[in-house]
Chain A
Amino acid sequence: MLAKLNRRNFLEVLGQATAAGGLIVLLGPRATQATTTPEDEAYDWEEHSYVYLIDISKCIGCGSCVRGCKAENDVPDGFYRTWVERYAIAGLEEVRIDSPQGGLNGFQPDPTAPASTKSFFVPKLCNHCSNTPCVQVCPVGASYQTKDGLVLVDKDHCVGCGYCVQACPYGSRFLDPETHTAEKCTWCYHRISKGELPACVASCPTGTRRFGDLKREGDEVVAIIRSQNVGVLAKELLTKPRCYYLHLDGEVR
């Protein structure tokens, strides 16, 4: 009889204890009010909200941006944090897309291409989505969003499960072949937090790639985004990208 009573009590108690424990786990890390990042008191991430602008009509497909990114961030061979695609649309139906080595060494004339009605280059990179699927699926909290609007990966905490690589609808992520952790564009956080431009923007000779800050007064890039016909990639996915494209063709995906 004691055993029967006890088991019932025990289960109830256990249930309560687990609930209480769970609550503590959830409430445990209390958000502090500090606004500056720990080591660099000069940079306040609440004073910035970055956006990126790509003017497709200006891109010459030289690949300087891809090389700049590679050199700045030691991106492993065969992988790209940013890349350039060439679109060739013939008869408004046949869409050909190529990106040899991500456009690293530029592009060659394509003698097999049909007489195309239109052709253009589309630089791509992580969109730093505001409503991001990649962070949502991370089971350990290694992918996260910063207060200034970036999506970053903590490679010391990443377990390399690859869920985020699958979740990103833009193909912006890959697993580093050496560390086996998730890698992607950081908008050169080490540069922008020091007031520099991302390496791809700094490398672009044509002004195709530009970087803006929603919280900076009189920001030219923000003015363009607010006043001109810009689009984002795969808008229907509701990921709310922070990369805006000027002169975006409807065929670009």
Chain B
Amino acid sequence: MSDAPERHSKHLYRAVIVIVGGLIAIFSSRLLLMPKSFGEHGWYRFDNVAEQMAKPVKHGGNASCKSCHGEQSEQHDGAGHATVPCESCHAPLATHVKEKKKSADMKVERTYKLCARCHQKLEARPKDFPQVVLKEHLEDQGETLEGDVCLNCHQPHAPLEDL
């Protein structure tokens, strides 16, 4: 019995080693495996919020078009297509302007397909929305359904003026 304390301290000694070893393993694997900023606000990598915010904006909005194309903007804003954003028929600002300078031509679709997306008669469209059965409408005008036929009569910026 006289050597009991010594034997117990031996057990403790080993237990402490196991605990300390375990903690070191846990903390070092945490350090190695857990991304920086993970858990700052919850169970995710907080830095990602800033990364998402930092992505470049591509659509500039009508005001950005107006700063160079005042005349067209004015015509557009006062007519039947005023609620149609410029970049919906043209393309996002970012494809045309870089660092406040023109970087490439704007792509514009000019075929009847562009007009048909909104104005081809469809059962599902709200009844009061202006729609035509394209074929019939063109036959009435003595035209055929091809190419940029709509532009023969309609000016997209002011579609019902000058008819």
Which residues of chain A have a CB within 8 Å of any CB of chain B? 2, 5-6, 9-10, 13-14, 16-18, 20-21, 24-25, 28-32, 34, 37-40, 43, 45, 57-64, 67-68, 71-72, 86-88, 105-110, 113, 116, 119-121, 141-147, 152, 154, 156-157, 186, 189-191, 193-194, 196, 199, 202-203, 205-207
Residues of chain A with a CB closer than 8 A to B11's CB: 5-6, 9
- CA separation between A191 and B52, bound complex, in Å? 10
Cα-based distance from A90 to B58 in the complex (angstroms): 41
**A38 vs B47: C-alpha distance when bound (angstroms):** 7
A-B contact pairs, 5 of them (CB 8 A): A17-B23, A43-B53, A60-B118, A144-B43, A154-B45
Interface residues on B, range: 35 or more
A61's closest neighbor in chain B, by CB? B124
Cβ of A205 and Cβ of B122 under 8 Å apart?
no
Residues B40 and A29 in contact, CB atoms below 8 Å apart = yes
Q: Is B85 an interface residue (CB 8 A)?
A: yes
B19–A38 contact, CB under 8 A? no
**Interface pair A88/B124, CB less than 8 Å apart:** yes
In the bound complex, CA of A192 to CA of B158 (Å): 31
Q: How far is the CA of A156 from the CA of B11 in the complex (A)?
A: 46
A61 touches B18 (CB 8 A): no
Query: Could you say which of B87-95, B97-105, B137-145, B149-157 contacts chain A?
Result: B87-95
Contact: A190 with B54, CB < 8 Å? Answer: yes
Q: Closest Cβ of chain B: how far from A117's Cβ, in Å?
A: 10
Residue of B nearest to A190 (CB): B55
CB contacts (< 8 Å) of A141 on chain B: these are: 38, 43-45
Residues of A within 8 A of B45 (CB): 141-142, 154, 156-157
- Which residues of chain B in 51-102 are interfacial with respect to chain A, using CB atoms and an 8 Å cutoff? 51-59, 61, 81, 83-85, 87-88, 91-92, 95
Q: How far is the CB of B42 from chain A (nearest CB, A)?
A: 6
Supply 13 further A-B pairs (C-beta < 8 A) apart from A25-B30, A61-B124, A107-B124.
A13-B18, A21-B22, A25-B26, A32-B41, A71-B92, A87-B124, A105-B117, A106-B117, A106-B120, A143-B44, A144-B43, A193-B53, A196-B57
Assembly CA distance A188 to B59 (angstroms):
11
Q: Which A residues are CB-close (under 8 A) to B22?
A: 14, 17-18, 21
Q: Which of B11, B52, B57, B83 has the most CB of A within 10 A?
A: B52
From residue 100 to 156 of chain B, which have CB atoms closer than 8 A to chain A?
113, 116-118, 120-126, 129
* Chain B residues positioned under 8 Å from A120 (CB to CB): 124
Quick one: CB contact mask for B1-39 with A, threshold 8 Å, 1 for yes? 000000100010011001100110011001000010111
Q: B53 — which chain A residues lie within 8 A by C-beta?
A: 37, 39-40, 43, 189-190, 193-194
Neighbouring A residues of B54 by C-beta, 8 Å: 39, 190
B26 to chain A, nearest CB (A): 5
Known: A32-B40, A58-B126, A107-B122. A39 touches B50 (CB 8 A): yes
When distances are taken between beta carbons in the complex, the residues of chain B under 8 Å from A61 are 122, 124-125
Smallest distance from the beta carbon of B122 to chain A beta carbons, Å? Answer: 6
Minimum CB distance partner of A65 in chain B: B88
B17 nearest in chain A by CB position = A13
